[in-house]
Amino acid sequence: MWEAQDGRCDYCRIFLETQGLTQLSIDRIDNDNREYGRHNGHLTCWECNRGKGSSPHEEMVALWEKRKLLWADQTVPAAID
Ligand SMILES: [Zn+2]
């Protein structure tokens, strides 16, 4: 899983660490499926896993898509000479 995801959270793409809010955790993609196996587990940061709670995977993906659009909208301040 680690290699496949390049060491990043599957939702927010942040680099996973061993502690803090970006601490890696294994999330079940389908909450109704009790297994953490190859097809139902993926790595997320602690914050995303906690934020997701029992919401469906699709909802979480949709949320991050909205966030990315929002961020893409913001103009980067010009560098100060
Ligand atoms: Zn995350």
Gap from CA of 26 to ligand 1 centroid (Å): 11
Query: How far apart are the C-alpha atoms of 4 and 67, rounded to whole Å?
Result: 23
Q: Is residue 77 part of a domain?
A: no
Q: What is the pLDDT of residue 56?
A: 95
The string of pLDDT tens digits covering residues 8-19 is: 999 999 999 999
Q: For 22-47, what is each residue's pLDDT tens digit?
A: 999 999 999 888 887 778 999 999 99
Element (H, E) at 31: none
79 inside domain:
no
Alpha carbon of 10 to ligand 1 centroid (Å): 7
pLDDT given at position 66:
94
CA distance 52 to 59: 9
**Considering the chain, what is the average pLDDT of its residues?**
91
Residue span of the structural domain in which 17 resides: 1-34+44-70
- Over pLDDT 90: what percentage of the chain? 72
Answer yes or no: is 49 within a domain: yes
| Residue 16, in any domain of the structure | yes
Pair of tokens at residue 45: 């940061």
> Is residue 76 one of the residues assigned to a domain?
no
Between the CA of 54 and the centroid of ligand 1 the distance, in Å, is: 15
Residue 11 lies in a domain: yes
pTM score: 0.82
- Structural domain tally of the chain? 1
Determine which helix (DSSP H) or strand (DSSP E) holds 63, and give its type and residue range.
helix 57-73
In a domain, 29, yes or no: yes
* Alpha carbon separation from 60 to 3, 51, 54, 66, 80 (Å, rounded): 22, 9, 10, 10, 37
The whole-number pLDDT of residue 15 equals 97
Query: Could you tell me if residue 57 is inside a domain?
Result: yes
